[in-house]
Structure 1
Amino acid sequence: MTESGGPPVVPAVPAVLTAPFTRRAWQETAYCALSFVPSLVGVTLIAVIVVALGCALTLTVLGAVPGLLFLVAGLALARTLAALQRRLARGLLDEHIAEPPRPEAGRGLVDGVKARLGDVAGWRAIAYLLARLPVAVLGLWAVTWWVIGAFHVLAPLRWAAGQRDFSLISPIPGLGLDPRSLGSAFAAAALGCVFLLAAPWLTRAFVAVDRRLMRALLAPGAVADRVRELEETRALAVDDAAERLRRLERDLHDGAQVSLAALAMSLDMVREQLDDRDRPELHRLVETARDNAADTLTELRDLSRGLHPPALDAGLPDALATLAARTALPVDVTADVPDRPTPAIESLAYYCASELLANVIKHSGAARCDVDLSTGDGTLRLTVTDDGHGGAHITAGGGLAGLVQRVRTVDGELTVHSPDRGPTTVKVRLPLHA
């Protein structure tokens, strides 16, 4: 049966009668039962750790540091319980709630504590646990409808077996029965059927409320989703640009450079066959064309090397070692890169190292330079240190400012420490993946 222009209308009576036997009803009941204990324990621990210990201790002078640590522990616990809640919802309700990004770890204890205290997702998880507790209690109450209903349905059998000295309880106060007669036992069974028919709809109602709470408080949120989408789009754009540069470098190397080299060789052959006494002007013309071809070939090689250095194909450490060997200054390269970055990040790091070494040679007056490369915590760290006279700083329109802009395109960071009389240390931090 359908309404004109609308979707099919499901008959209400069959839906009510078949609800207790559906997979959805059993899954929602299991969700209400299984999620109650973590919710109760979580709220209790959050109340003790965050409110009683964390907030209370931070109000005192001596307890400020322990209080902050309790707050951090409470936020971490709330995140863990929220993750458990998302897994239960995904497994039993087919509700897929994306996990919000974790706060970036600071480079020290103070920065780490500040980052975790500013974890919005952790505070939202605490709000969810507190708001969900009454919903969890009501959900458990809905589960008792199943248990009490099944117990009531068996009343005639228990009465026939001679077990007539018990009273049947009810999830609703005032509806308890005393099945000392066969009629009251059947009445209890009928009431049990009513409870069983109502139980799926009660659990569904409380699960619906819980779904709304999860979507509102446990999901990353529209802004976080947009940020993640932009980050993914940027990563694709950066990787695509790096791949295009590598392809252009290969095309220049295998195409234009080979053609120019062949042209230069052909002009050499023509020049050798000319007689200076007969056609001196033609000899000079060929000589000039050959020199122009050679110069163009050199410029083209430099250009293609700047697009994508072939040394990067063997990895960033080897590329930096090659760069250091070509530098007109003693350069000591130390590399510890167990996790290889993406090609785009390697190209950016190589470009930064090349520009920084060029700055050392031009401006620092240094006698030597050290380059340190390492990975850890999902980041690539490049440090360039020289023993020059110092005084380097970032100015608008300068080379360092240009590097800062390039690094920021992938959420990287460049810092300069250059006191007068040196030494100068430039640190570049990049993500392993753009």
Structure 2
Amino acid sequence: MATADIPTADIPTACPLPHVSEQPAGAVRRGPLSAAAWREYGYVFTSFPLAIAGFVLAVTLFSLGAGLAVTVVGFPVLVALLAGARGLGAGERGRASGLLGLRTKEPAPVPAGGIKGRLADVAGWKAVLFQFVMFPWRIASFVVTLTLLLTGWVVALLPLYAWVFPTFVGWPGYQLFDWTDGAGVRHAYYLESFWQIGAASLVGIGLVLLTPVVVRALNRVDRAAVRGLLAG
């Protein structure tokens, strides 16, 4: 028996809901208590000892290799310098990726051709240059970051511990300065009133909010250096 085709109506499918990111707004992500901000701080603080170690390694091996270049001993030392700089560069790219979210390509492989080919390793010499260039910058970044971070939080939280100074130290308040001039006149200033302490706390809060912005700006130099000197 023949059967007639039964018309069917199209069944509407459920419309996909728009994707809503679980990440907070940009200002919150970059706030002083955000994970992104503390990763930036962590990058600066870990860069400090690495900068010292890398600079000492680069200066020592470069000076030794250049001084012994007139002999056959100097060239293997320079090859060791390039290999060490490449290793440190790989670690720097890894730190920049993990803490700053910077994705970079690996540099060109070490050229073949024995010692002569290795000494012509452009990527290796760029990695050596990175250690020299970034040493003073990372020392300065460490000092600026630590100063802003400590000063901001210490001053912002002043209302919580201002009572300690008159109670246990014998000062009327938080001492800003205390000195005696050549004429024997003493000059001292203390934050002791409610308004003085509150105003100081507001300044500290401003520094706390400003610190991640400054640190991110400092780390932009590191990002540029990693891209320009350590990446392919």
TM-score normalised by structure 1 residue count? 0.40
The counterpart of 1:76, out of the listed 64, 76, 83, is: 83
> How far does residue 116 in structure 1 lie from its aligned partner after superposition?
1.7
What is the one-letter code of the residue matched to 2:105?
A: A
Gaps of 5+ in 1: 1-13, 170-176, 221-434
Distance 1:168 1:137 in 2: 27
> How far does residue 179 in structure 1 lie from its aligned partner after superposition?
4.6
Distance 2:72 2:59 in 1: 19
> How far does residue 92 in structure 1 lie from its aligned partner after superposition?
0.8
- Determine if contact 2:111/2:121 at 8 Å carries over to the other structure: no
- Determine if contact 2:29/2:35 at 8 Å carries over to the other structure: no
Distance 1:100 1:90 in 2: 15
> How far does residue 204 in structure 1 lie from its aligned partner after superposition?
0.9
Q: Determine the structure 2 residue equivalent to 1:40.
A: 52
Distance 1:48 1:25 in 2: 35
Q: Is 2:206 the partner of 1:189?
A: no
> How far does residue 46 in structure 1 lie from its aligned partner after superposition?
0.5
Counterpart secondary structure, 2:31: helix
Distance 1:67 1:167 in 2: 58
Q: Is 2:67 the partner of 1:56?
A: yes
What is the one-letter code of the residue matched to 1:80?
A: G
> Cα gap change, 1:189/1:122 in structure 2, threshold over 3 Å: closer, same or farther?
same
> Cα gap change, 1:17/1:49 in structure 2, threshold over 3 Å: closer, same or farther?
closer
Q: Determine the structure 2 residue equivalent to 1:213.
A: 225
C-alpha distance after superposition, 1:273-325 (max 9, x if no partner): xxxxxxxxxxxxxxxxxxxxxxxxxxxxxxxxxxxxxxxxxxxxxxxxxxxxx
Q: Determine the structure 2 residue equivalent to 1:147.
A: 150
Distance 1:99 1:35 in 2: 20
Distance 2:105 2:127 in 1: 13
Gaps of 5+ in 2: 1-25, 178-187
> How far does residue 189 in structure 1 lie from its aligned partner after superposition?
2.1
Distance 1:218 1:125 in 2: 6
- Determine if contact 2:176/2:190 at 8 Å carries over to the other structure: yes
Q: Determine the structure 1 residue equivalent to 2:161.
A: 158
Q: Determine the structure 1 residue equivalent to 2:74.
A: 67
Deviates more, 1:40-49 or 1:130-139: 130-139
- Determine if contact 2:30/2:36 at 8 Å carries over to the other structure: no
> Cα gap change, 1:168/1:131 in structure 2, threshold over 3 Å: closer, same or farther?
farther
Distance 2:198 2:52 in 1: 37
What is the one-letter code of the residue matched to 1:56?
A: G
C-alpha distance after superposition, 1:22-57 (max 9, x if no partner): 33222111111111210122012211211x211122
> Cα gap change, 1:126/1:142 in structure 2, threshold over 3 Å: closer, same or farther?
same
- Determine if contact 1:153/1:193 at 8 Å carries over to the other structure: yes
What is the one-letter code of the residue matched to 2:75?
A: L
> Cα gap change, 1:160/1:207 in structure 2, threshold over 3 Å: closer, same or farther?
same
Distance 2:93 2:40 in 1: 14
Q: Is 2:131 the partner of 1:129?
A: yes
TM-score normalised by structure 2 residue count? 0.71
CA RMSD of aligned residues (A): 2.8
> How far does residue 185 in structure 1 lie from its aligned partner after superposition?
3.7
State the structure with more CA Rg.
1
> How far does residue 149 in structure 1 lie from its aligned partner after superposition?
1.0
Distance 1:126 1:89 in 2: 17
Counterpart secondary structure, 1:102: coil
Distance 2:197 2:30 in 1: 24
- Determine if contact 2:29/2:36 at 8 Å carries over to the other structure: no
- Determine if contact 1:53/1:67 at 8 Å carries over to the other structure: yes
> How far does residue 147 in structure 1 lie from its aligned partner after superposition?
2.0
Distance 2:134 2:100 in 1: 16
> Cα gap change, 1:179/1:44 in structure 2, threshold over 3 Å: closer, same or farther?
farther
Write the mapping of 1:219-298 to structure 2, written as runs, cut at 5 A. 219-220=231-232
The counterpart of 2:105, out of the listed 98, 104, 109, is: 98
Q: Is 2:41 the partner of 1:29?
A: yes
Write the mapping of 1:353-392 to structure 2, written as runs, cut at 5 A. none
Distance 1:159 1:79 in 2: 51
How many residue pairs are counted as aligned between the two chains? 190
> Cα gap change, 1:70/1:178 in structure 2, threshold over 3 Å: closer, same or farther?
farther
> How far does residue 198 in structure 1 lie from its aligned partner after superposition?
1.3
> Cα gap change, 1:179/1:197 in structure 2, threshold over 3 Å: closer, same or farther?
farther
Distance 1:125 1:40 in 2: 15
